[in-house]
Structure 1
C-alpha cells in the first residue's frame, strides 16, 4: 500500500490581500504603485511610490517603517490611505530590512541607515516634479527614530512637517539592553556586534491588538523574526539618548501620536518631544487603551480614528504652509 500523503498545506498568498494581481489591487484602491531599487553609497535600497490615480497631488509624504518590518504587507495600507487623500507617498525599506541591502535587522549605525533613506527621499523631494510641493516626513515606531535622524540631518526648511506614529525616542525598561551583557560582548572588540544574541521580548504580540491583523502581520515573508542583534540594541539605546538631547532642535510643525497601552515604545517618547521641541506648531494625541501599532494592529474603528486625525492635521498644514513655500522659493 502506498504511504499516506500528508494533507496539503494552504498556499501562502503573495500579498496580504491574497492572490489578486498587484496592479489590479492598487487600481481598486485608487493608487498607482511603482517599485524600484535606488543605489546609494551605502548599498542598494528598495523603494516604492503610491500616487493617487484621480486626484491632484497636494504634497509629498516620505514614510519609514518600524523594526523588522518593510514597506510592503500591511505598512503599505498607511501609504495607500495618504495617497487616497491626495498625497504622493514614497517609502523605502531601511538598510537591513525587506528587500534592501544589509545584514537582516542590523542597525549598528543608525546615522548611516537614516542618511541612506534620506538620500532617496531628497532625490524625490528636490525633483522638478515635486520640489514646489509641501513635503512631510512620516515615521512609525523605530522608523520614528530614523525619521528624526533624517530631520536632524536635513537643511533647514527642507520639510514642511513631521508625523510620528508611536515613535521610539525613549526605550521602555523591558527593552533596554543589559549593560553587563553589552560590556561582555564589547570585550570581543566588535566581533559580536552582528550576533543575534540579545533577549527577545516578543514585542509583536504586545504591539497588535486585533488578533486577525496579528495573523496577517505574522504572514509577512520578509518580516524579521530572529533575536535582536547586539549592535542593534546598543545603537538604539544610544540613538534614543541622542534624540532626547536633540528635541530642542526640532522647529518644524509636527504631529506625534501614541496609544496609552503601548507595550513596545513609551508614550513618554511623544510627550517629551511635545514638551521640549522648539516648534511653535506642535500637536500631541494620546489614544486611551490603544496598543503600539495604531494603524496596522488596532481594530478598524480605532485605526480610522488615528487616520482621521492624521488627515485633518496634514490637510490643515498643507493649507496653512503651502503658500509660504511658494513665496520662499521665489525669494531664493
Structure 2
C-alpha cells in the first residue's frame, strides 16, 4: 500500500475522545437532557477528578446520588451512562474517580489502603452533600462492583442518618474462588516487608470479557483510554481480600434502606455478595433483585433491553424512597 494511502487511513484507527465519538461534549450532554461539569477536588491524599450531572429541564432536583465506579474503570466513558440516567430522572449526580483511577492522583489501580481510598471520595461527597443547594435533600450512595465495597466503607465511615439509602450494582463483598489471590503469592511478596506492595505482578483473570455480554459494548469499554489494563498489584489484591472479609463481618451494621442487584451469570463478583447483604443487614427496608442470565456489568454491558429492566427497577426504588422522605419535587 502506498504511504499516502496509509496516512489517509490512520485517523480512522484513532480512539475517539469519548465513547459516543467526536460530538462535542456539551452538545452530547445537552442531547441527553443533562448538564455536565468537571473539576478537581483537593484532599490531603491527592486530587480527585470529579464530575456532576444535573437535569437540564428540572429546576428543583429530587435528591442527590453519589456514584463510585469499579476496579480499573473511571467516571467517564460508559460509566457515566448510569450517571446520565439518574440525572434525567431528576437527581443531581456526583461522581469521583477513585484514587489511583482515571484522572485522579495515585499509583494506577493501587488500592493498598481502601479505607483511605474510600475516605478520600467520601470527603468530596460530604462536601457536596452538606452544601447549601443539597443539604436538605435526600441523598444516596451508589456503588458498582469493587466500587460497591468502597461505597460500603464510606457508609461505615459516615455519621448515622447521613444517607437516605444505598444502591449497589453487582457489589464486591464476596470474592469468587477463581478470582481469589493466591495465598502463596501474597505470603512470598509479604516477605519483602511492603516493598512489593505496588508491584503489578499478580495473576490477571481478564475480567472485562467476563463482565460484558453485549459484544459491541465490550468493544467500546475496551477502547477506554483511561481503563487500567495491567496485572493487579500485590497490595491491591491483599487489601481487597481483607476488605471483603471485613464487610462480611460487619453487614449487620447496615441499617439504611438499600437496593442491591446482581446477575446470575456474573463472572466477576459473586451473586452471594448481594444475597449475603440482604440476609445479614439490619435494615428494615431492604430490596434484592437477581437477574437470570445477566453478566456483571448490568447497565453498561448488557443489551439495552436488559439494561433497561435494571434501570427501571432502580428508578422505581429510588423514587419511592424520595417520596417517603416527603420531597417537594414532583
How does the TM-score come out when normalised to structure 2? 0.96
Structure-2 residue corresponding to 1:19: 22
Q: Which residue pairs with 2:251 in the alignment?
A: 247
Stretches of 4+ aligned residues off by more than 6 angstroms:
2-5
Separation (CA, whole Å) in 2 of partners of 1:323 and 1:38: 29
Could you tell me which of 299, 312, 321 is aligned with 1:295? 299
Determine the C-alpha separation between the residues in 1 that align with 2:111 and 2:170.
19
Query: Quick check: 1:280 aligned with 2:284?
Result: yes
Q: Does 1:265 align with 2:269?
A: yes
Q: Which residue of 2 aligns with 1:329?
A: none
Residue 5 (structure 1) shift = 6.2
| Residue 230 of structure 2: aligned partner | 226
2 CA distance for matches of 1:4 and 1:29? 39
Distance in 2 (CA, whole Å) between partners of 1:25 and 1:264 is: 31
Q: Which residue in 1 is equivalent to 2:46?
A: 43
Contact 1:52–1:84 (CA under 8 A) maintained in structure 2: yes
After superposition, where does 1:1-332 map in structure 2 within 5 Å? 6=6, 8-9=9-10, 10=12, 11-55=14-58, 56-322=60-326
Indicate the SS of the match to 2:57. coil
Residue deviations 1:60-108 (CA, integer Å, cap 9, x gap)? 0000000000000000000000000000000000000000000000000
**Cα deviation digits, residues 221-256 of structure 1 (max 9, x gap):** 000000000000000000000000010000000000
- Using a 3 Å threshold, how does the CA distance of structure 1 residues 206 and 323 change in structure 2: closer, same or farther? same
Provide the C-alpha distance between the structure 1 equivalents of 2:324 and 2:225, rounded to a whole number of angstroms.
Answer: 41
Q: Partner of 1:137: helix, strand, or coil?
A: strand
Shift of the alpha carbon at 1:6?
3.8
Distance in 1 separating the partners of 2:6 and 2:138? 57
